[in-house]
Structure 1
Amino acid sequence: MIVSIGDVMIDAYFQVPDHRNPRTDTHGRVELAAGGSAANFAVWVARHGRMSGLIGCVGDDFLGRGLAAELEAEGVCPYLTFDPDPECGTGRVGVIVAANGERDMICDRRANTRLSPEDIPEEVVAGAKWLHVSGYAFLEKSPAKAVRRGIDIAREAGVPVSIDPAAYSFIQALGRQAFLELCNGATVILPNLDEGRAMTGLGRPEDVAACLLDHFPVVGLKLGGDGCLGMARQWTGMAGMTGAGARAGEKGPQATVRFAAAPTQVVDTTGAGDAFDAGFVIEYSRGAGLAASLARGNEMGARAVSKMGAR
């Protein structure tokens, strides 16, 4: 089973016209959908035929129960804690989607902040094929401790770990070194370029990935409309793979693979990184190698942005 730890949310999408009427009504469109970075990842994994589990915390309310039922319907095993505090409730996100598909998010994390080390089922993590962590869980002390416990259990059991840093603003506020310490023990780091820059202080994608390679055996750097860039300390890609948009590195202590973005019509970029992460982990966890894993992540990320919503 591929297990993820992190946020479970209800998303409210606001498609806002360029012109709004101040102090009165503006006609637009509002959609509600299940979300949360870790939950999105888990659903993408399940939809592609792999056993998938999710560890998280929701409110003991109609939203939390509904999200748990939705995960089960998608084929995900939900290892969820239901927080009973009525003043807390299930996490929610307001997503403001611009005409070009880019989005701004207003996050109200609520029950996600209550995840604790005691909520991590040791036998589930130790028995997993792979553990994936959403970096949003690092935002507060309690879930950060829970994630660290999960990573420590995984390392002890020989389970590979991937981390999506999730929020460059948090990395900047915490500091590069402190954030790297939180991620200690990860096998694969999967940042976007903003997050990678925040983690390294560097600008060029190649420099960012090379610097991250000093801390993690495998780097998958998401470049949005410019595709993705991967590096690994040892060559694990398919020798000679140079498919459309790809450049394969030489065999040796460091391998580099880059793919252009898959052609698609961008509707909404919400959840694209989660879909990329799922594609990468699906392939890498079965030994497909760096190039094939990046290609699958690229393809699934393109699929995610072609429609409204994170899944």
Structure 2
Amino acid sequence: MISKQTDGAIVCAGRVYCDLIFTGLTELPRLGEETYAEELAVEPGGGGFITAANLSALGHKTALLASMPGGPFGSAILDKMQRSGVDLSLSPFNSANGAQVTAVIGCQEDRAFLTKRNGTAVPRDMLDAFSTSKARHLHIGELATLQELPELLEIAKAAGMTVSLDCSWDQNCLLNGNVQNLIAQVDLFLPNEMEAEHLGYLKEPANCPTLTVVKKGKAGATAITKDGEITVAADPVPVVDTTGAGDAFNAGFLSSWLRGADIETCLHDGNKCGAAAVMRVGGAP
């Protein structure tokens, strides 16, 4: 049944978090002090799900391969996930799973995260089902997921899927000696500006081991290709919450890239989805 449900789908992999999003702050909390937010929202988070939900909203058949948070955290976001149009058959919900929670502290046009992970990034007992899923593309929502489960690449490539990878800031992952080799094996790498700078791609673009798209927030995005760089600026929009904006950008870019559009069009469509995301609370539509 799973293979039928995911035939031709875009599978997005990576942990799901219960995002507790605090907004309306003028500055980040300081040690020893208490800061009060104007609003609090509870939303499903994690790059895999947010990208999948945005792709679904764009009309694509999508599936999620993810470890879900358990207990009250999973229950709080499950209904919205089920209404997203994303196939969750590769991501079984188990209330006994541990907490996976992110506190998102939104401050003007930026934010800080405090996250608790639990267990593996994706359920290992779903890897066999994924290998027979007949999906067309695998998007990995965070570098940590790929480092933990490099066999995802092997499965995807053996099945003829193309593969994209977001970075999602994790200093321990970025300092790993094997990180460049892993990135070189994907078809498309989607870091943000800080991550790309940490990897040395901004000073030495020729060192990018694959097609790399650097997300620059309100400045738009730059694609670093074998033929040079292409930059498309973003249109200014009112910012409510930047959580998941990069993951939404991924969806817009992938939607066009998988249709064979030129890179400039892909960047434009990525910027459009990222802009839509910052005008709402939470990255998923």
TM range (shorter): 0.7 to 0.9
Partner in structure 2 of residue 180 of structure 1: 180
Decide which of 104, 108, 119 is 2:126's aligned counterpart.
Answer: 119
Kept after mapping to 2: 8 A contact 1:81/1:115: no
- The one-letter code sitting in structure 1 at the alignment partner of 2:127 is I
TM-score by length of 2: 0.85
Q: Which residue of 2 aligns with 1:89?
A: 98
Alignment of 1:1-311 (within 5 A): 1-15=9-23, 17-18=25-26, 26=36, 28-65=38-75, 67-78=77-88, 79-82=90-93, 86=96, 89-98=98-107, 100-111=108-119, 113=120, 115-123=122-130, 127-135=134-142, 137-138=144-145, 144-146=147-149, 148-167=150-169, 169-172=171-174, 174-175=175-176, 177-200=177-200, 203-204=202-203, 207-208=204-205, 210-212=206-208, 215-216=209-210, 218-233=211-226, 254-311=227-284
Match of 1:239 in 2: none
| Count of equivalent residues | 273
Looking at structure 1, the residues matched to 99 and 170 of structure 2 have their Cα atoms a distance apart, in angstroms, of 24
Relative contact order, CA 8 A, sep 6+: which one is greater? 2
Cα deviation, residue 58, structure 1: 1.7
Tell me the equivalent position of 2:6. none
Q: Structure 2: which 5+ runs fail to align?
A: 1-8
- Could you report, residue by residue, the CA deviation over 1:195-248 in whole angstroms, capped at 9, with x for unpaired residues? 111222x544xx34x321xx11x2111112221111333xxxxxxxxxxxxxxx
TM-fit CA distance, 1:135? 1.6
- Whole-angstrom distance in 2 between the partners of 1:25 and 1:135: 30
TM-score by length of 1: 0.78
Kindly state the Cα deviation for residue 282 of structure 1 after the two structures are TM-superposed: 0.8
SS of 1:42's equivalent? helix
**Runs of 5+ consecutive residues of structure 1 not aligned to the other structure:** 234-253
- Structure 1's 60 and 187: CA in aligned 2 closer, same or farther, altered over 3 A? same
> Separation in 1 of the partners of 2:111 and 2:165?
22
Instruction: List per-residue Cα deviations over 1:236-277 (Å, max 9, x = no partner).
Output: xxxxxxxxxxxxxxxxxx153211122211222111100011
- Give the counterpart letter for 1:101 in structure 2: E
